[in-house]
Amino acid sequence: AMFHCIPLWRCNRHVESIDKRHCSLAAVPEEIYRYSRSLEELLLDANQLRELPKPFFQLVKLQRLGLSDNEIQRLPPEIANFMQLVELDLSRNDIPEIPESISFCRALQVADFSGNPLTRLPESFPELQNLTCLSVNDISLQALPENIGNLYNLASLELRENLLTYLPESLAQLQRLEELDLGNNELYHLPETIGALFNLKDLWLDGNQLAEIPQEVGNLKNLLCLDVSENKLECLPEEISGLTSLTDLLVSQNLLQVLPDGIGKLRRLSILKVDQNKLIQLTDSIGDCESLTELVLTENQLQSLPKSIGKLKKLNNLNADRNKLTSLPKEVSWLVSVCLTGGRDVRTAVLWQDCVSSGEMLLVLNRKLQKALTYLPLSLTTLKLKALWLSDNQSQPLLTFQTDTDPETGEKILTCVLLPQMPSEPGCQ
């Protein structure tokens, strides 16, 4: 039976579940203790509870306990009574420490202590060997227990927004780990043993101080998502080519000048974000990333894009504004959306949003490109263009084009009033 903010039925002594979330409770309701023999699930999240009184720990049949978003000041050692507890959520409270006796909660599989002023986990913590999911985000944690590797059943470990400066060697023993979130810490170095976490699917390392990634990362054959944005990376290892399952690679806000050629081996890569780096060129092998749908190159030092981008038939978002591009390879003219605007023009930005959602093409060319362009590729006429903004003083979203011949190559091309004319040509009508 489930109850929601109504008095508990006096007659029924066999209650297995009580839900009093969001009930503005300042204290644990007394009547709950009547059901100590049968209560298996107790949800008291999002109240104003400040303490857990002694009788609370007589609820020894509890398997699931939700106490998140309260004002609990202390977790008493009697927590050890909950030997059948499988799920415990104490996130976002004011608990300064977890008692060593937590290790008696041997049945615990899912635990969340995020958002408490903890600074450390108890030494006994790695004895909770049934833990599969542990979340300790934002608890001012300075170090992990050295024997954290004893939690060998862990599938998910969330350590975001802490003060970790290093990872203990034993981390490599977490062979079942599929999700590891170390974002927004103070890590300067990743141990080579990270490559031993063969089952890892998601690895978040964003917002750290990493200057390099060990080549052993290439062993993570099951990795789907790697986020190393906002670090100090000057290069990525060539071995990144081993991440054959990878779909998302996020390396924004680093110091990369080039991407390794091995990136072309990532045949399943769908999203690649390399914005705000120092890229001076883009490897030709990028054209082999056949599943790429989104390529973000904003704010780099690129003067050109490789022709091989034209091979990326699934690409529908190429964002390369704020670079030093003076031309676009004609091979990319079929792209669903090419954003090369200076990004300051509101009209342009709004239209760019529209085009992404509509899936029809909108081409916006930045000022440098406008000056450099003398003509457009003929293939442009085959596109379902909704708009083509070539200039700030253009009155209509679409322009009238005239077919012409490039005097140098003899190829058919498009010209228009807003483009500088070929020397031999009269203006287009």
How many whole angstroms separate alpha carbon 311 and alpha carbon 292?
Answer: 10
Cα 199 to its chain centre, rounded Å, is 18
- Write down how long the chain is: 429
pLDDT in tens, 157-175: 999 999 999 999 999 999 9
The whole-number pLDDT of residue 360 equals: 42
How many whole angstroms separate alpha carbon 77 and alpha carbon 159?
Answer: 24
Domain boundaries, the chain: 209-331, 333-429
Q: How many C-beta atoms surround the C-beta of residue 285 within 10 A?
A: 18
pLDDT in tens, 18-68: 999 999 999 999 999 999 999 999 999 999 999 999 999 999 999 999 999
DSSP for residue 84: T
The whole-number pLDDT of residue 388 equals: 66
The whole-number pLDDT of residue 321 equals: 83
The whole-number pLDDT of residue 320 equals: 84
The whole-number pLDDT of residue 87 equals: 99
CATH code: domain 209-331 is 3.80.10.10
Closest CA to 272 of 336, 305, 240, 226: 226
**Can you say whether residue 45 is alpha, beta or left, with left for phi > 0 and alpha for psi between -120 and 50 degrees?**
beta
- Side chain identity at 355, as an amino acid letter? C
Kindly list the averaged pLDDT for each block of 10 residues, start to end, along the chain of length 429: 53 84 98 95 98 97 99 98 99 98 98 96 96 98 96 98 96 98 98 96 99 98 99 98 98 98 98 98 97 94 90 85 75 50 33 35 50 59 61 68 78 71 46
Closest CA to 89 of 64, 120, 106: 64
Cα 113 to its chain centre, rounded Å, is 21
Could you tell me if 243 and 269 are in contact, meaning their C-beta atoms sit under 8 angstroms apart?
no
Residue 187, C-beta contacts closer than 8 angstroms, at least 6 positions apart: 164, 165, 166, 167, 205, 208, 209, 210
- String of DSSP letters for 318-368: EE--SS------GGGTT-SEEE---S--HHHHHHHHHHHHH-SEEEE--HH
180 burial (CB, 10 Å; 0-12 / 13-18 / 19+) is: buried
Geometric angle at alpha carbon 91, from 230 and 119, rounded to 5°? 65
The whole-number pLDDT of residue 358 equals: 36
